[in-house]
Amino acid sequence: MSTITVTPIAGALGAEVSGIDLARPLAPDAVRRIRQAWLDHLVLFFRDQQLTPASFLALAEAFGTPVEYPMVKGLPGYPLITEVIKREDERTNFGGVWHSDTTYLEQPAMAAMLYALEVPPSGGDTIFANQYLAYERLSAPLRQFLDGLVAINSSEKADVSRTREDMIRAAGDDRPRPSYAAEHPVVRTHPETGRRSLYVNIAHSAQFKGMSEAESAPILDQLFRHQVSAEFTCRFSWQPGSLAFWDNRCTQHYPVNDYHGHRRSMLRISLAGDRPR
């Protein structure tokens, strides 16, 4: 415990945690300290970890309940672990747009862990955005207006659908692709911190309930631009053995697609969440 160090990497969110081996079972005090750091900083980064699928799954289970990702099959023998790959010959990366994970589900993921196996010599960073700040920095009249709105979220928005189909074809999975939709508050209250955050995203939020797409679009477009403003973000450069652990309830993330001609291979686990309120 005394060796664990938490070092913020940006003013808005994000901290790097050192002095711990995640491949070994974590003591309860270590789990509590890491979870509190996670709630404080929204996304944590760990370097130089040596995880097998089994130890990665055990790590995730220390912080929540792993669940299957609804769109892509998991690893053989480990259905709760998804392999996220962009090959040297591919131009499109998986999930390559700003988003919160699975907001098209009735109970979106609470969190995700992403572990790097192979990374390009440069590029392939992931950017994260603090949605507490995105909400708090809006004007008071706009916050009041948004507080009463519900967003309709869909898995069928085109930008995400294309990348998802590319991933499914690459994995040789020819099953019919499911379609999901869910309604969630535009502003949600975090069940652990009690803080309010903006909870729409360009990948999945299609319109406001009770409003047409045309009526919703100008407001949503302004929110989509605002919520990923540079002052709300941090950026993480991956190395083999790096792990990111983010709170999906109050962040968005964006995998930068700037490494064509190089392979990037990651393992990902989603943790079950509750219904946003």
Active site positions, annotated: 99, 101, 253, 268
DSSP 179-235: --EEEEESEEE-TTT--EEE---TTTEEEETTS-HHHHHHHHHHHHHHTT-GGGEEE
Going by DSSP bridges, is the β-strand pair 196-198/150-154 parallel, antiparallel, or unpaired? unpaired
Q: 166 with 219: CB under 8 angstroms?
A: no
Q: How would you class 111 by CB atoms within 10 Å of its CB: exposed for 0-12, middle for 13-18, buried for 19 or more?
A: buried
- CA atoms of 267 and 138, how far apart (whole Å): 36
Cα dihedral 106/53/241/22 (nearest 10): 80
Phi, psi of 31 (to 5 degrees): -60, -45
State the CB neighbour count (10 A cutoff) for residue 219.
18
Q: 110 with 274: CB under 8 angstroms?
A: yes
E-strand spans in the chain?
A: 5-8, 15-18, 43-46, 66-67, 82-86, 111-118, 126-130, 150-154, 181-185, 187-189, 196-198, 205-208, 233-236, 243-247, 251-255, 264-271
State the CB neighbour count (10 A cutoff) for residue 51.
21
